Structure 1
Amino acid sequence: MTGTHREGLPDWAREASFGVFIHWGAYSVPAWAEPIGALGTIPDEQWFAHNPYAEWYANTIRIEGSPAARHHAEVYGSAPYEDFLDRWQAESYDPAEWARLFRRLGADYVVPVTKHHDGVTLWDAPGSEGFNSVDRGPKRDLIGPLAAAVRAEGMRFGVYYSGGLDWSVADHPPIEIVDHLRTHRPVDAEYAAAATAHVRDLIDRYEPSVLWNDIDWPDAGKADGSLAELMAQYRGVVPDGIVNDRWGADVWDYRTSEYSAGSNHETGTGWENNRGLGFSFGYNRIEDQSLTLSPRGLAQHYADVVARGGRFLLNVGPDSSGRIPDVQLRTLEGVAAWMAEVKPHTTDRRFPGDDEVAVSADADNWCRTWASGGRLVVVADRPEAVRVTAPGYEIVHVALPE
């Protein structure tokens, strides 16, 4: 299909450097995955049977002999995954509290999952009767109140939708190898129509500034022109909205990477890297402090992404009640003041070498830097030891948090 993306990102997206991703769903009830490591560091042939993504629980427990399958049998017996939808109560969900936290972090935009690969929608999506958070489990729309709270705090609101996978509508075997992402997914016209109706409803109800699809889009929807029509609707409703690159079609505005996977997309400016605080996006009760980014680690990751021209989309994984776990809060609260000090707030972010700017540091002194407006920010282990030549800039030296 022909491309439908704009030339260049809108001002708000060029200014933005930090977003919050939220993975929360029925998978937050078992909240279990084997924390083997980060995407991009584990061989493909090991990944799916030992998947560290707790939001993939419905797939991983179907892989014979997997640790998740053994865990599920020991704890839940033969209970089907669907039971977790009814066990999910979201009794402590406070979207205003979430939004205040994300604002303190300096988030520019917030992107919650509205439907993950398990097929459960977090609003009463058209055609989702009996398999959404309004009819079962929490018994309410979880997206609308969050959209209002996020916007009340001055941030942009986006939506994630899994168009490529939906384990509730197709009787495929479990995904066990990378090639199965292509062969074990719904691609037919019926599913394309259902997914299109969902995303049309998200656009009309919530007018999201970010349209974040995952894995791919059903082939029938690419072939019959309905994806192009969907994009045209989105551009009409949200003229300054942006679209990510996981549609399997040339409709995107920016490229994405995930942990270290897709690093070839991290070129130029305006790309987006996403990762969890641990190895999972959905809450994994196994991930303790030793498996969670420290405030220092989070600050380093953010500074590295920003210094190379990207945006950082950091995932938060609430527990099934809607609380953000203490191990995650420790890191988020620990980095908030630091983020407020370093974040760029202009559309003209620049990097050493672009102007008459020169920055050098010893090999054992981790250092990243960028300029925005009249400020040159130098983030380092020992910022006072970094040598800077920057005529006309206010030089801001910032140490990494502990």
Structure 2
Amino acid sequence: MMNEANSFEELSERELPQWYADTPFGIFVHWGAYSVSAWGEPIGALGTIEWETWFKHNPYSEWYYNTIRIEGSPAQEHHREVYGDMPYDGLLDMWKAEKFDPTDWATLFRDAGAGYVIPTTKHHDGITLWEAPRTEGRNTVARGPQRDLIAPIADAVREAGMHFGVYYSGGLDWHFRPMAPHTTDESVNDTGRPKDAEYGAYCAQQCRDLIDRYQPEILWNDIQWPDDAKNFGPDGLGTLFNYYYAHVPTGVVNDRYGDTHSDYLTSEYSHLLANEGDKAWENCRGIGYSFAYNQLEDESHYLTGYQIARMLTDIVSRGGHFLLNVGPKADGTLPELQRQALVDLGAWMRTGAKDALYGSRPVSTEDVTAGAGVWVRGVDKEGTRRLFVDLEEADPRVAARATLTVGDEQVNVELPAGRPGPVIY
């Protein structure tokens, strides 16, 4: 166990826990009152849309509370048509989670090859999925589902042999610290977020409660942390980090606490790609364009299991982790297209892909020359290099052959019809 740090610089000397270094694939879960409305315009992926368009037509259905407050937005019009003048919190009372089966979730995630699971505990709407301190009944124990939703997920995930983490929005809380609706990236990350120490103390108290109750091995913060609490005072962020590492020595934190401390960096869809470098990093995204369930998304917006397998392989070959999100419906069931994608991914993982990827590190492929249209990625595990081979424009329903040269040897790799992902060579 590390000694208590007195600065963020001291915290940066901490070594990355081995379990995280060796576990490249996790499942994110965005579930909240926004899963009742389940509405966002599927205009595209983050990082590919101009900010001015993004906020007014936000494809992230978990941002519904913000989007319906933007005058003239299609989400605002939709809310008025469907819910009239009902305030956002009416969605919390409509959320029942009546078919929630955490064991089913955990089994599906484990069989898909995941090694860790991170559910949202408080998103930007400020509603907590456990009986958090100072929420005054604005949580899922007092309202809506009328139960702690985090404890059963934690128990099921660990019972299935995976690591458990939590998402917590420290950067934004549109209820506890109401601000004008965000319409710019600058508003989200600077001018329109709370920065005061009192809000920082509120967040720290809730995070300590999460640590005490659930001992999460990942604290996944979002957006930022209140500037006036970025210190080592009694309710400061540095003190919270010390508390966390003392109680969960194998724990890790991401980089969304501002310029303070992190165990690893993050990117999101095609945003923040500069973070994908030498330090430990993780890319997160939904199976569709939204993290939370979006009723407007269909098969044309979703990744298939085959596409996820390719994406995972590419990320791991570059030294990254992949946090793939699922968005349950309000009743607790997973959309069938999302479930099928995970089932298909699991079929590929069982071909030997999981064993090759877990515990692996990037490896040079300079001696590998691919034929025209051939897709190749490589990893090293315990001194053995494994190549993942496919075609750039692949139709997995059709058998094909990929030709490549490895050193002085020409290799023909058979790509069978119905393959669930890249073929391991």
Q: Is the 8 A contact 1:29 1:319 kept in 2?
A: yes
Q: Aligned-pair distance for 1:389?
A: 4.0
TM-score, length-normalised on structure 1?
Answer: 0.94
Cα distance in structure 2, aligned partners of 1:231 and 1:390: 52
Instruction: Say which SS state the counterpart of residue 362 (structure 2) adopts.
Output: coil
Corresponding residue for residue 8 of structure 2: 2
Corresponding residue for residue 321 of structure 2: 311
Match of 2:78 among 60, 71, 77: 71
Regions of 4+ moved over 6 Å: 395-399
CA deviation map 1:308-340 (0-9, x unaligned): 110000000000000001121121112211023
Corresponding residue for residue 42 of structure 1: 49
Matches within 5 A, 1:245-324: 245-268=255-278, 270-324=280-334
Corresponding residue for residue 368 of structure 1: 377
Taking a change above 3 Å as real, the CA distance of residues 398 and 104 of structure 1, as seen in their structure-2 partners, is farther
Instruction: Say which SS state the counterpart of residue 290 (structure 1) adopts.
Output: coil
CA deviation map 1:148-171 (0-9, x unaligned): 110111100000000000001123
Cα distance in structure 2, aligned partners of 1:397 and 1:223: 57
**1:101 matches 2:112:** no
Taking a change above 3 Å as real, the CA distance of residues 176 and 390 of structure 1, as seen in their structure-2 partners, is farther
Gaps of 5+ in 1: none
Taking a change above 3 Å as real, the CA distance of residues 285 and 54 of structure 1, as seen in their structure-2 partners, is same
Q: Aligned-pair distance for 1:384?
A: 4.3
Cα distance in structure 2, aligned partners of 1:229 and 1:212: 17
* C-alpha RMSD of the superposition: 2.0
- State the identity as a percent: 51
CA deviation map 1:187-246 (0-9, x unaligned): 222211111100001111111111100000112211463111000001111111111000
Q: Aligned-pair distance for 1:349?
A: 1.7
Instruction: Say which SS state the counterpart of residue 293 (structure 2) adopts.
Output: coil
Corresponding residue for residue 203 of structure 1: 211
Instruction: Say which SS state the counterpart of residue 120 (structure 2) adopts.
Output: strand
Instruction: Say which SS state the counterpart of residue 78 (structure 1) adopts.
Output: coil
Matches within 5 A, 1:320-331: 320-331=330-341
Deviates more, 1:366-375 or 1:106-115: 366-375
CA deviation map 1:274-312 (0-9, x unaligned): 000000001001111111011222112111111111000
Match of 1:82 among 76, 83, 89: 89
Matches within 5 A, 1:334-373: 334-340=344-350, 341-343=352-354, 344=356, 347-353=359-365, 358-373=367-382
Taking a change above 3 Å as real, the CA distance of residues 383 and 162 of structure 1, as seen in their structure-2 partners, is farther
Matches within 5 A, 1:214-225: 214-223=222-231, 225=233
User: Which residue identity does 2:8 align to in structure 1?
Assistant: T
Q: Is the 8 A contact 1:19 1:312 kept in 2?
A: yes
Corresponding residue for residue 387 of structure 1: 405
Cα distance in structure 2, aligned partners of 1:189 and 1:61: 29
Cα distance in structure 1, aligned partners of 2:220 and 2:332: 22
Gaps of 5+ in 2: 1-6, 392-399
User: Which residue identity does 2:171 align to in structure 1?
Assistant: G
Q: Is the 8 A contact 1:48 1:177 kept in 2?
A: yes
Match of 2:136 among 119, 125, 129: 129
Cα distance in structure 2, aligned partners of 1:132 and 1:110: 21
Aligned residues: 396
User: Which residue identity does 2:420 align to in structure 1?
Assistant: P
Deviates more, 1:315-324 or 1:261-270: 261-270
Cα distance in structure 1, aligned partners of 2:252 and 2:178: 33
